[in-house]
Structure 1
Amino acid sequence: MFSLPNHDAMQMRIGLTVLSIILASEHCLAQSSPSGRLARSPEVEQNPVIVIHGILGSKLVDEDSEQVVWGTLRRFQFWTRRSPSTSMAHPMEFGVPLNLLRDNVRSAGTLAHLDLKVAGLPIEVEAYGGLMQALGIAGYRDSKQPSVLDTEQSEHFTCFQFDYDWRRDISENAALLDDFISEKDDYVAREYAVRFGIAQPSIKFDIVAHSMGGLLAHYYLRYGRQQLPNDGSLPVLDWNGCRKVEKAVFVGTPNTGSVLALRDLVNGYQPSILVPFQSPVVLGTMPSVYQLLPGDSQSTLVDAAGQHVNRNLFDPATWEAYQWGIVADEAERSLQQLLPQVADAAERRALARDHLAKCLYRAAQFRHSLEIPGQLPATTELHLFVGDQEKTPSIVQMVPRKCTLKVIAYEAGDDTTTLRSALAARSLPADQQHISSARCAIPWTTVTRVNASHRELPLAPQFISALIRILRVAPNSNIARE
């Protein structure tokens, strides 16, 4: 998710890109509007924007100690042996539903940058700061970090960052998103009353969601604040979230899952030496990571002999049979460190099995909830940005005697999300230059291909320019698929 770009060069490219779009928009409006002023009255005011980050995209803090669990890291910690960071783990307890399992960790804001220290020297790793800067230049003021370009005279005042605990069940966070939108709806209504003298305005929001944040947004559009029922049934598809959302922009979202989620749940995760290793036991406590699993093992998993494996990835018996993740025999040492209050090894293993089953059943339930057919309301648009120029893992193979997985095949994508998964495509055309003909399970209004990796997508000038155009164009206009 994170990279180490040249900040000055990145900011210059973003600034020039957005300013050129604004100048072009001003010129077009000057031709069609007597006033020639962009967004200077409620009739043409752009929708407030909500940015939703992906996994790892918000700072996590322990409420009791105020210690940063994720978001500020020191390099000397990474040189130590690989052991689970217990503060990162999602809580586990026998017989308690996932949504009732709580700890003292809370989300404390979207990461504009990830602060690292290497040999005592600070390094900033770009996260979502570039995107927020671009929206600021375009006239949207971030309520948490007001842009220096936003003057008192500007009527663009509504840009919000929805941060959430990305370890937890995505449907839980959809309910929190509903609360967040209601709160911001009241705030924007008060601003309209003060700025424009309009009482009870009809306010719609636009959403920009990266990676796993897109799954959260998709679930929210379908079900609003309904969480996945604890009895295993599916929520009622009522498109309740669409009542308040006019445009939803999905950026590199793995709509049909990612084999990297399976690999990381089995092997653990360390994208670079600058980020600490997360053991499969720690990752295996997080319900959200299972919700990123691909739905079809037959097309994504092969055995040591190279034969496709037809096993249900959402069945705990599969994980037991292959000694994967949190229920592997090798997980005992990590479980002992993670659960010091549980003295008996058999009890620890039983707790791990119990938690795995909860997470897998909830993940299957989540996947099915996104596959229920239904007609998207005509008042909501869905825009997709997808990378298609990077080799992206598509098949993993079981490594004999090691109970680990390795990537053996790749498809077009952004290095994390395949083009097929982002599109939610049943099939891809032979000529992938014409992806508009792909048969997709999601009714995209536009699809825009960007030559960028997964972590760079929200920062790419091509993405920024197309995003600003989408946000500034009237809904349901004739926007070509690129």
Structure 2
Amino acid sequence: MIFVPGVTGVVLRDVATGEIAWGRGRNLVAPDDGGVGLALPVIHADSGLPVLEPVAPIEELALYGFHKSVYGPIRSLLTGAGYVEGRLEAPGVGETLFFFNYDWRRDLTEGAARLWRQLEELRRVRGEDRLEVDLICQSSGAHLCRYLAKYGGVALEDAAAGRGRPPATLSIRRLVLVGSSNGGSLRILRELDRGRRYVPLTGRRILPEVALTFTSLFQDLPIYRRDLFLDATGAPVDVDLFAPASWRRYGWSFHGATTARRLARDGVPPFLGTAAERDAYLERT
């Protein structure tokens, strides 16, 4: 059994320092950096950003004496039922439960390719011609698993060109979707536009320009357009969420007055690049 967490559900660690950048309660309140330490250089190169690696599912968040369970109870439930946990990074014979660790900020098709490689290694370790697995996918992890089931580990451009297909050496017996937004979620647009704060008032705010670099969020935007937006009379307004012109017209993210004023005052961080580079990123994403 393979469990695939959703976006934000995997601990991220700084490769250089070994410090946990995401996945502990303290990461929800500090540092007061607007989340820049989590940004990806997908718009423009920025050597000042840390390189982060996925290490484990988030089991619990503890802050100010409060404890919030995340994936810990699921792990306890499954191991208590007799599953033997292993690590996909170094699988062993006889192990039957794996949590997939991936960089949830990145393109989910990259995550699908990573999972495919690790499942191939698991198949090799077991000495099987065809690996049979159950996939349990939570939230946006469902997008990753559905892509894997349909296209394998090929890049997105190859899948679009018809070169992707279900993996011949993988048999997905069950694909269990838990709390997945199969058609996308409009809430994601709000986070891309306004950012997010996980702890009210005092919490660390993930600025909208940082959220913009999380390519995975764009893959959870609604894929349908009818009735997403209405005008003052209640008539549907056709808005293409993936067109840079829509972001300019409606003032989303860095095109919004509030964010634009702050960037003008504080300076545009290197990872955001130029206005043209940001629009090009929106176009290709």
Normalised TM-score (structure 2)? 0.84
* DSSP-derived class of the 2:68 partner: strand
Alignment match, 1:173? 111
Alignment match, 1:264? 191
Alignment match, 1:352? 278
For structure 2, the 5+ residue unaligned runs are: 88-92
Q: Determine which of 117, 135, 138 is the counterpart of 2:63.
A: 117
Measure how far apart 1:178 and its partner are.
0.4
Whose RCO is larger (CA < 8 A, sep 6+)?
Answer: 2
Cα deviation code 1:134-192 (max 9, x no counterpart): 11111101115xxxxxxxxxx96311111100111111111001011112223334xxx
Alignment match, 2:42? 92
Q: Determine which of 14, 20, 24 is the counterpart of 1:68.
A: 20
Alignment match, 1:158? 96
Alignment match, 2:140? 212
Q: Determine which of 10, 13, 26 is the counterpart of 1:58.
A: 10
CA distance in 2, matches of 1:305, 1:291: 30
1:108 aligns with 2:51: no
* One-letter amino acid matched to 1:85: G
RMSD (Å), alpha carbons: 3.1
Cα deviation code 1:210-265 (max 9, x no counterpart): 011111000000011111018x9444352227833221111111111111112221
The residue correspondences of 1:192-341 to structure 2 (distance < 5 A) are: 200=128, 202-229=130-157, 233-240=160-167, 243-273=170-200, 276-303=204-231, 306-332=234-260, 333-334=262-263, 339-341=268-270
C-alpha change, 1:76 and 1:211, in structure 2 (3 Å) is: closer
* One-letter amino acid matched to 1:109: A
**Among the aligned pairs, what percent are the same residue?**
26
Normalised TM-score (structure 1)? 0.52
Alignment match, 1:24? none
C-alpha change, 1:228 and 1:76, in structure 2 (3 Å) is: closer
CA distance in 1, matches of 2:135, 2:73: 17
**Aligned pair count?**
275
C-alpha change, 1:259 and 1:241, in structure 2 (3 Å) is: farther
* DSSP-derived class of the 2:63 partner: strand
Measure how far apart 1:132 and its partner are.
1.2
Residues 130 and 168, structure 2, Cα contact 8 Å, conserved in 1:
no
Residues 221 and 242, structure 1, Cα contact 8 Å, conserved in 2:
no
* DSSP-derived class of the 1:205 partner: strand
Could you say which structure has the larger radius of gyration? 1
For structure 1, the 5+ residue unaligned runs are: 1-48, 97-101, 145-154, 190-199, 360-482
Alignment match, 1:128? 71
C-alpha change, 1:58 and 1:205, in structure 2 (3 Å) is: same
